[in-house]
Amino acid sequence: MISFITRYFSSLWELITAPFRLIWRGIEKLFPPRDCTIMDTSDGDVTTYQQSSFWRFTKFCAIITMSIWAAWSTYVYVYHRPLLQKRTQQLEQTRNQHNRQMTDLKTYLKKYNSLIRELNITDDKILKADKLSDADKETLLNTKSKIAGELDFLQTRIAEMMGDENYTPEFDKISDISVEFELVRNENDMLKQKNQQIIESVSEISDADHQIVEAVSKLAKDNIDEIHKNLKRINNTIAKLGLNETKLIDQANNYSNQIIGGQFVPVDLSKNADGKYKKIAKDIEKWHGLNRLTQVLPLGNPVANTIITSPFGIRQDPFTKKNKQHKGIDFAGNIGTELYAVAPGRVISAGERSGYGTTVEIDHGLGFTTLYGHLSKIMVSRGDWIRPGTVIGLGGSSGRSTGPHLHYEIRYKGTPFNPINFVKE
């Protein structure tokens, strides 16, 4: 045996792998390598590549697998669909039958309660029969017999219904219905007492609710009026940008970042809610939006010294001496003057910019950005999230400048506008 192995195989591993090599040689015969040529019609380039035996065999296996899967899926769909439809119809029939039985049971229960009341009234009259004539007594006895007959008939009908094996009854015996009736009557007396207590409690809650609504409404109105007062100075500027308060409030409530937090989630009230609650919800939403605007909008001074040396608008260019649009305002300052962020935001640019020199630009959201030009040093990096009051750089005279100062711009959707109302209280 050993001599046979050593004669035809150079090693034990070669012996073990011999069957696999034999199989693979068969695969290579069935799926020999094949050259494929692809022409790019746009450029006229011709690309030639070789499909290996392994690739062709793998593709063949994939096709066979998908075919088997498709055939099996079709079989399952065609065979089981009628069964599923049949089971669905049976379930719908059972459900309809159960609904009819429940309707009948409720009708019988209502009739039973009515007969019990009539029987009690008749028994009470019979107990006082000493004051009645013989004819009246006979009438009462006939009435009682009639009621008893109806009760027996009703009991028989309910028993037949309860005997249906496909129906799960709410009560097993007619006596259970009677017991349930007595329990409900006793419970009804207790509910009447509790109902009176609830009415008194609701009256107290209503008074407290009215006071709370008035207090919250006044608080919301006062806060809204105070914020309106603070934002009054920028109303004209906002209007010139094509914006209005309602639009800005909606944008502010839907805006979020890691500095000011997430979006505002409004109070979810039903359509039938009292109008006073809807008004409070709207006031709270409006107050939150206005308050968010005071946080997001770039309101405030970028320097401690607010001496303005050149306003926004047409001015004489200090280099060419020709009239030219000045896209921001210039603040007086020295080299090294600290420059502050006026609102939370993210640094979108920090470096050299033609004409502006060393520049920092901050995105505050809602389309508003601020730009600081002619800096001597940058204290932040592109991508940084910053808070109001963060020192973003130091004043200087870099770029196209005649002396140390800060060139400050506020832009809306990339277009500079006069920021004077945003920086002056």
Residue 329 falls within a domain, yes or no? yes
Q: Give the pLDDT score at 106.
A: 76
Residue 36 falls within a domain, yes or no? no
Specify whether 378 is located in the same domain as 275.
Answer: no
Residue 45 falls within a domain, yes or no? no
Enclosing H/E stretch for 98: helix 53-127
Specify whether 317 is located in the same domain as 393.
Answer: yes
Specify whether 331 is located in the same domain as 358.
Answer: yes
Residue 116 falls within a domain, yes or no? no
Specify whether 336 is located in the same domain as 284.
Answer: no
Q: How does pLDDT run across 335-366, given as a tens digit for each residue?
A: 999 999 999 999 999 999 998 999 999 999 99
Q: Give the pLDDT score at 174.
A: 47
| Range(s) of the domain holding residue 11 | 1-26
CB 337 within 8 A of CB 305: yes
Q: How does pLDDT run across 36-85, given as a tens digit for each residue?
A: 777 666 666 677 777 787 888 888 888 999 999 988 888 877 777 777 77
Last residue of a domain, one of 239, 272, 296: 296
Specify whether 312 is located in the same domain as 418.
Answer: yes
Q: In this structure, what CATH number is given to the domain that contains residue 325? A: 2.70.70.10
Specify whether 292 is located in the same domain as 325.
Answer: no
Q: Residue 216 corresponds to which amino acid? A: V
Specify whether 270 is located in the same domain as 325.
Answer: no
Residue 32 falls within a domain, yes or no? no
Specify whether 230 is located in the same domain as 325.
Answer: no
pLDDT-flagged residues of the chain (< 70): 1-12, 39-45, 126-132, 134, 157, 160-189, 425
Last residue of a domain, one of 273, 296, 319: 296
What's the rounded Cα separation, in Å, for the pair 240 and 247?
Answer: 14
Residue 114: phi and psi, rounded to 5, are -65, -40
Q: How many helices (H) and strands (E) does the chain have?
A: 9, 14
Contacts of 25-34 with C-beta under 8 Å, sequence gap 24+, read: 27/53, 27/57, 28/53, 30/57, 31/56, 31/57, 31/60
Residue 134 falls within a domain, yes or no? no
Residue 185 falls within a domain, yes or no? no
Specify whether 268 is located in the same domain as 372.
Answer: no
Specify whether 325 is located in the same domain as 402.
Answer: yes
Q: Give the pLDDT score at 171.
A: 43
CB 345 within 8 A of CB 362: yes
Specify whether 368 is located in the same domain as 409.
Answer: yes
Last residue of a domain, one of 274, 296, 318: 296
If one counts the domains in the chain, the total is: 3
Specify whether 313 is located in the same domain as 409.
Answer: yes
Residue 270 falls within a domain, yes or no? yes
Enclosing H/E stretch for 349: strand 345-353
